[in-house]
Structure 1
């Protein structure tokens, strides 16, 4: 693959505008009752009408973000309004926390045990507020963010199944999400709150969960960063680790921290080397850091979001540093991802492949897969390669 950055930018942009977003506009909007359908067959047929709040808010964020940052399409604004009005009315419990799921009509189905519903509500409502100037939406977003910070020591609260005094492992997902979320809110939160949260997230991600000797991210560690010799303690989720690195890269870029940037790039490469399937290609879903059989039976599957987040991380890493290792890895992941996940017939991407790279299911949306990772990655890669094209053009003109 040649370094045709302009062509890559156009490729990603065209896929976003003419393939992926039309799929969700045409099939996911519940015009009758509000909100979005996310359980969609390969062709876009709705096969379940329950609404999962973290996916609802992700889709709200996606439509609002693209309307503000890419193209002020009226259909994107209308789609965002459809989600916002439904979520404002039905999404929260009496204490302000967000349910995990509701039925099509908005009746709650599952208690607000999952703090990631709140994380993506913060994203969705804050972005909707930026798009519309809706102060109520922003106040809900800020209140939800503050609630996340209050809950982060015990995210599941009364729904936590573990015994607090036993193993006391801490999980990587929340500090990872917060490291991105706080930057998205930097214009509406007090600067000292942003700086403090950024510092705490960077410390957690890079000093507690990252094994500095091996350069890989552990999914669960003891509070001081030590590893526990158990299924949970040995668990590696390469996709989470790589996704977190582009969040860290954006922080390093925003704060001008060259050492942090180098650490994030090196960690991306280390995780890829650890998580790449040398027999069939692609990135494993889960691995045991000592090479034991993982608890998760789906460990060897290849998932859409893992490869998309890797494309973002590698393209950003190359933009920020020019490290040729990132370009070589980018070519390899790009080739695998677009030749295995993309559906040329009905649009969008397959989500789940077996180890050999064949689709395990042809669904396009579900309880876990919605309008988020793919369009976000297409946007991020498109603008990143546009910036690389400008740099390349400027160099060639000298």
Structure 2
């Protein structure tokens, strides 16, 4: 991905971050989620099945037929969570609509797997990419868990079925981690990665919350320890992305492709902070002594190495020598980091984490949030200019930004104790 920012598509002039905004306010967070949902509401739903996946800044759909498994699952999450928080029956209907498409359109009955990318035209599916990704299955599990928690009964058996598929096809018992990728007929590649395991942990925690089955919590704990402790000891104490088949570190995988959307080279500050968030969610259910301290270590490591003192925001990646290898700013990195900061602030009582939270929000409010049309821009240059007017391509859906707001609401606790 060789992108060059153009002055013609520089970020629209945004209001400076208003010092009067209380970014820790429940009302602010709920309002922001509503505003983000409103960006998608008028145009996203496809009556013939599922939702469109590609949106310009103003909401114009610029690809009406391509459907990606990651977006299809994240739309289920978005609307299931919206229904749980706001109680609007339209959100529940959208969640059912999204789940139905995920189950019926992406599922390959012949090979018993979910297709990574399909063409959807006139109510008919054509597989574009049938590669099996554990990352994709993790999001299927997450979608089913949140749909079940929203009261969609048909999602409940899908939780167990999806977990069983992950276990049968991807679980590496000797490593205590999931493999990453397979051909459509389930021949595993040699590549191993942490990203699929991180999102599997997220999904397993949600599956436990949806079902109460301790099996899911046990598996989440095992993966979390193996990635953030054992594997991290092989890579300077931080979470590296890429590994060989034997789970030794692959320092060179995608070395020339640091902006890769799913497998970027370098340490990802956003994944250090996202793991910090997940460790604290795990701690809610299982108070292991190492979780809190490790969450602090990972958050501090990512934030201190990647914060841009000149232009604000967190860079996308840094190398093993701590030098920045990708100077761009990505929406999800800021969002996952403010969620982690809030959880750490609530967990420790330390104002320094809330200061990080406020700073991330001030930066994001000034540069990433589209105050005209709603939702967040996806990627900016280091000096906060847009690369294009493609706000929400496949995979985005603002799942990260809305999910982060929901996690902050959890951290703030009962509405009766809200600011």
8 A contact 2:70–2:394 mirrored in 1: no
What's 2:53 paired with? 38
Offset at residue 229 of structure 1 (A): 4.6
Aligned to 2:300: 269
Change (3 A) 1:172 1:384: same
**Which protein is richer in helix relative to its size?**
1
TM-score computed with the length of structure 1 as normaliser: 0.86
CA spacing shift, 1:252–1:375, aligned 2, 3 Å: same
- Check the 8 A contact 1:58/1:372 in 2, yes or no: yes
Other-structure match for 1:193: 215
Is the 8 Å Cα contact of residues 131 and 183 (structure 2) preserved in structure 1? Answer: no
Is residue 96 of structure 1 aligned with residue 112 of structure 2? yes
Determine if the alignment matches structure 1 residue 149 to structure 2 residue 179: no
- Alignment RMSD, CA only? 3.0
Unaligned ranges ≥5, structure 1:
394-398
One of 108, 112, 127 as aligned partner of 1:108:
127
In the alignment, the residues of structure 2 paired with residue 347 and residue 122 of structure 1 have an alpha-carbon distance, to the nearest angstrom, of 28
Q: Displacement, 1:5?
A: 6.7
Q: Which residue does 2:94 correspond to in 1? A: 79
Conserved 8 A contact 2:68-2:116 = yes
| Corresponding position: 1:52 with 2:68 | yes
Structure 2 equivalent of residue 285 of structure 1: 316
Q: Which stretches in structure 2 are left out of the alignment for 5+ residues?
A: 1-17, 173-178, 256-264
- Among candidates 397, 402, 405, match of residue 375 of structure 1: 402
Q: Which moved more, 1:223-232 or 1:22-31?
A: 223-232
| 12, 15, 18: which one aligns with 2:32 | 15
TM-score norm. by structure 2 comes to 0.82
Structure 1: how far apart are the matches of 2:152 and 2:331? Answer: 34
Once residues 232 and 209 of structure 1 are traced to their aligned partners in structure 2, the CA distance between those partners, rounded to angstroms, is: 19
- Distance in 1, matches of 2:188 and 2:99, equals 37
Change (3 A) 1:7 1:261: closer
CA distances 1:344-391 after superposition (whole Å, capped 9, x unpaired): 111111111001111112322112321411221222223433559828
Report the Cα offset of residue 2 of structure 1: 8.9
For residues 1-398 of structure 1, what are the structure 2 equivalents within 5 Å? 8-17=25-34, 19-31=35-47, 33-49=48-64, 50-68=66-84, 70-94=85-109, 95-104=111-120, 105=123, 106-134=125-153, 136-152=154-170, 153=172, 154-158=179-183, 170-187=192-209, 191-211=213-233, 215-221=237-243, 227-230=249-252, 235-291=266-322, 294=325, 299-387=326-414, 390=417
Aligned pair count reads: 380
The 10-residue stretch of structure 1 (328-337 or 149-158) with the greater mean CA deviation from structure 2:
149-158
For residues 91 and 170 of structure 1, the distance between their equivalents in structure 2, rounded to whole angstroms, comes to: 24
> 1:7, 1:281 → 2: CA distance?
19
Partners of 2:320 and 2:23 lie apart in 1 by: 39
Task: Give CA deviations for 1:327-354 in whole Å, capped at 9, x if unaligned.
Answer: 2322222221111101111111111100
Deviation (angstroms), 1:44 = 0.5
The worse-fitting range, judged by mean Cα deviation, of 194-203 and 58-67 is 194-203
Distance 2:297 2:323 in 1: 25
